[in-house]
Structures are given as C-alpha cells and as structure tokens.
A = this chain, B = another copy of it.
C-alpha cells in the first residue's frame, strides 16, 4: 500500500541522529500512510531504533552506509571524503530516480556542496538558493531566500530566486498567488544596490508571471507584508541569523523576567500552558525545513538541533514539494525570463 512517493532520508545527520530521525520518520509515516522511506546510515543502529517505532518500520527500507559526515566538517573536505556516507547516499538515491526528495538534518555546507555536485542546477537556473520560512505577524510564514547559498547575486539570479520562491510558497504555504518583493533599505525606486534595482526592472520588463510588489525592508519579513522576500545569500544569511539571535534574546529576557521574583514566578506558573504554547510557536522545529531550491531534485534541510516532531515537519515540507507542480511552474517562468533575455540580446545586436 504505497502512493508512489519515496523520500530519501539521511539517517545519521543532525545533533541527535539517528534517534530523532527515526522518531520523525515514525510521526510522518503515521501522518502519511502511503509514503515510503529510504533510510541511509548505520544499519545496526537504525534497525534497532525501528524496533521501537512500528509505523516507521513498516514504511522504511534501511540502506547501510559505512560512515557519517560530522557537523563540523568543511564542505570541501566533505566533497573529498563524503562518498559512501549516509548523506552522499541519500542524495544519490534521488539522482538515480529511486526517491522523490532528500531530507537531512546534517551539516549544511556539506549537504549543499554534495547536492549541488551530484544533482546540478535545473536548466535556466544559474545558482541554487537556500530558502527558509519565517513566522510572521499575520499568523503565516514569510518565505525568505537566499539565506546563504551564494555570497553574491546579480539581477538575473535575483529574478530566478523570485521565481523559485514564489512556486515554493504556493507549494508549501498553499497561497494561490504569493506576493513577492526584493529586500532593500527603502521602498523608493532609486534606493539600494544596483543589482536590486536592475532585478526589479527585469521582473517588470520580461513579463515574468509574478505578483511583484517592489521593495520591502527588514522589518517586513516578520510583519508578513509580502509572502516571499528575495535577497542575496550574504544579506539573507545575516537577516536570518540576526532575527534568530533577537528571538533568542527576547526569550532569555522573558525567562529572566518571569523568574525574577515570587510574584513573577507565581504568575508564570499560572500562565504556564500559554507560555508553553508561545515557546512552541517560536521554536524553529515547528516551521522546520529549509529548501535548497533550483537543483534537479528536491533537497530539504532540517534544523540540526531538531527533535522528532521538527524532523517530521521537514519531511512534511519535502512531501508537499514532491506532490506540487513546483518544477513545472518554475520552468514556465524561467522560459519567459530566458526568452526576454534573448530578445534583449537581439535588440542589442541590431543596435
């Protein structure tokens, strides 16, 4: 009894692997009975864990890998020594067409490098983008990309990110026509880096099929002003980490405030269920799953410190992506971008 969807799982990636991986697979298997899992990693350890999780056991095939890539290994080293690791094999299963998507909570740099090397970028995509979701004030999630795959991005690459991010938001957040904007230091047309202004112009000129909203600023990410915020990997990485750092700081201040005296402690005790729910709402685990978009294969990165529920959330993202028409939607818009470019080049030649 399968619905044909196969997910390739790095059983050994993450701070608490393989335990949370198998636990996550179990939650996902209960939630989506038709899905099958290829579990890559130490067969002895994985099989022992599967004995404790019936749903995971029924839905999984273990594929033994002799080694695992550590969280602290550099990407270049992982490329040289990674062959035969659980991460490498998990990627390979998608390349071979035996699985529809990969999920790993392992080393981000190694995961990106190996995926990029083995799967290559889709036709029409110059560079892939690391894509994340950010809880927002409207109760939904803002899609932000690139958050670290490329240090720089030119105008055309930013437009490619916009196209990929839009299709992702539709597939995963279920928004029919996601609004898209470029991250900038002001909403005015004349502001910001030249590439950003050129990207806005390119979107308007090429007739790319996007609900484009121009520029937004840093605080618009958490506000949820638009569904998709597009930037280069340097700026996106700093925005993401600054936001995470600030959220943790406020959490620390809150804990300090609520343990700072008898009345505060009593109040916190009475409000405990509400505070617990808040803490869950802020936990990256609940909106887990960063995507590495633009490759020939779906590549989902779970947070390294995810628990079982968090890893299951990342699997959920992979599932939604695999069942969506994301790939066709991107291809459709990339063709428009490419033909507009060819048009411009022709005009240039004539001039």
Contact = CB atoms under 8 A, between A and B. Distances in A.
Contacts of A256: 278
A245 B258 contact: no
A222 B246 contact: yes
A237 interface: yes
Given A267-B271, A274-B260, A250 B252 contact: no
Nearest to A266: B270
Contacts of A251: 250
Interface stretch (A115-123, A167-175, A212-220): A212-220
A218 B267 CA distance: 33
Contacts of A237: 185, 217-218
A351 interface: no
A80 interface: no
B193 A249 contact: no
A204 interface: no
A243 B241 contact: no
A234 to B, nearest CB: 6
Interface of A: 74, 135-137, 148, 151-152, 183, 185, 188, 191-193, 217-223, 231, 233-235, 237-254, 256-258, 260-261, 263-264, 266-275, 277-278, 281-282
Pairs A-B, 5 closest by C-beta atoms: A267-B271, A218-B241, A219-B245, A267-B270, A264-B274
A268 to B, nearest CB: 6
Nearest to A239: B242
Among A185, A235, A266, chain B packs the most CB atoms within 10 A around the CB of A185
B282 A273 contact: no
Given A242-B219, A243-B246, A245-B221, A137 B252 contact: yes
Contacts of A185: 148, 151, 233-234, 237-238
Contacts of A221: 242, 245
Q: Provide the main secondary structure of the chain A interface.
A: helix
A281 B268 contact: no
21 contacts: A137-B249, A148-B185, A151-B191, A183-B238, A218-B238, A222-B245, A223-B245, A231-B238, A239-B242, A242-B242, A242-B246, A243-B245, A250-B250, A258-B275, A263-B274, A264-B271, A266-B267, A266-B271, A267-B271, A267-B274, A270-B270
Contact of A273 (B249, B263, B273): B263
Given A185-B148, A248-B222, A266-B271, A253 B278 contact: yes
A136 B241 CA distance: 14
A268 B264 CA distance: 9
A151 B188 CA distance: 14
Contacts of A220: 245
Contacts of A269: 267
A240 B218 contact: yes
Contacts of A152: 193
Contact of A274 (B135, B151, B261): B261
A184 B228 CA distance: 24
A206 B133 CA distance: 43
Nearest to A275: B257
Contact of A218 (B193, B242, B257, B272): B242
Contacts of A74: 188
